[in-house]
Amino acid sequence: MKHVYLDNAATTPMKPEVVAAMTDQMQNDFGNASSTHFFGRTAHAALDKARQTIANALAVKPDWVIFTAGATESNNTAITQTAHARASLGKHIITTAIEHLSVLEPLRALEKEGYTVTYLPVDENGEINMADFDATLDDDTILVSVMYGNNEVGSQMPIKAIADRLRDHQAYFHVDATQAFGLLPIHPEELGIDMLSASAHKLNGPKGVGLMYRAENVKIQPFMRGGEQETKRRAGTENVAGIVGFATAVSLLDDDAKAQLQQRYASFSREICSKLEAAGVTYHVNGNLDRPRLQHVFNLYLPGASTYAMQTNLDLAGFAISGGSACTAGSLEPSHVLTAMYGEKSPRLEESIRISYGSMTTMEDVDAFADALIRIVQRLIARSK
């Protein structure tokens, strides 16, 4: 049986070019990038080259790119260290109700320390209202942390509008761009973003490697201590092979390639909708396909078919999808994203699935998936009657 992977928002398979670059690095250059001898200098040169590649993609200076173990570390660093560094200026932070848990959990911890956090609500498109943002931004606000695009429904946030509001404000602006970095051209300096997080494994790179962009004006203490790596901003021996893999993955995605992927992914969603309609299957899209969005994430509400049953049956049929964020996959709690969008009593919370495409997804995969989904949903609904 062929297995089709449609859970790319959780992680992506590494591209052959990435594997080759990492293999070469591990086999031929094992030095510690902090060592001063030949082996260390060679490793450091590879590190510098990778940093420059990623800085070029972000259109920023290479010194402003800090390598981390992933977006979770980057998010925790940006949030916790900003709060502690700027406590004398205020203790108010603004975020949204649909952020990733690696943003929400540090904020909840800060609330226990006496900080006040405003969780902006979202509408049924998964979008915030800028009037709500304007109403809550005040002189005590020291940080705004908003994701670029949502990992469960694909909705995009008004990043430029927020940055414009903060241009003459004391608050730092942090953006979790984990899902968007490999799909949209993102230039933080041009946009007015002070800090940005991303992970390699979301764009066909390796797991365990991420970045934190930090503008020159941002003054915070390191989150990881114990060494002077990353120009004293993040302690710990750099994962040079992983970083080289990250840079290789980034180099394979110029702005034209990203635009083509967005168009291709949108066609996949249209194909699934068309097949569901032709088969007479009732469905609703969680979010809005006509709004600016990350097209690789497609979240479907299928009335009468439970999320768990759909996941299980699709897995047995050879299709890997998700009920929501991979970071909450082991939880019995409903999606906090769908809860924020539709309310805690909505049936969508227990009858929705997330399909997420990747660069290796084909239309043949999508057609086969849609056919299997139709059979499974029709069977589940028939059994429930």
Active-site positions read 327
Q: List Cβ neighbours of 27 (8 Å cut-off, separation of 6 or more).
A: none
Measured over the CA atoms of residue 68, residue 73, residue 75 and residue 76, the dihedral's sign is negative
3-state secondary structure string across 173-242: EEEECCCCCCCCCCCHHHHCCCEEEEEHHHCCCCCCCEEEEECCCCCCCCCCCCCCHHHHCCCCCCCHHH
Q: List Cβ neighbours of 188 (8 Å cut-off, separation of 6 or more).
A: 58, 60, 175, 194, 196, 213, 215
Q: Which amino acid type is present at position 170?
A: Q
Residue pair 358/204 in contact by the 8 Å Cβ criterion:
yes
Q: What is the DSSP-derived secondary structure letter of residue 167?
A: T
Q: List Cβ neighbours of 42 (8 Å cut-off, separation of 6 or more).
A: 29, 31
Tell me how far apart the alpha carbons of residues 242 and 375 are, in angstroms, rounded to a whole number.
41
Q: What is the DSSP-derived secondary structure letter of residue 293?
A: B
CA-wise closest residue to 196 among 296, 55, 52, 12: 55
Strand residue runs (E) in 330-383 = 352-356
**CA dihedral of 116, 117, 123, 127, whole degrees rounded to 10:** 140
Report DSSP letters for 17-49, one per residue. Answer: HHHHHHHHHHHH----TT--SHHHHHHHHHHHH
Residue pair 384/354 in contact by the 8 Å Cβ criterion:
no
Give, in order, the Cα–Cα distances in Å from 308 to each of 283, 284, 376: 17, 18, 12
Structure tokens at 67: 């390598």
Tell me how far apart the alpha carbons of residues 83 and 266 are, in angstroms, rounded to a whole number.
39
Tell me how far apart the alpha carbons of residues 334 and 310 are, in angstroms, rounded to a whole number.
15
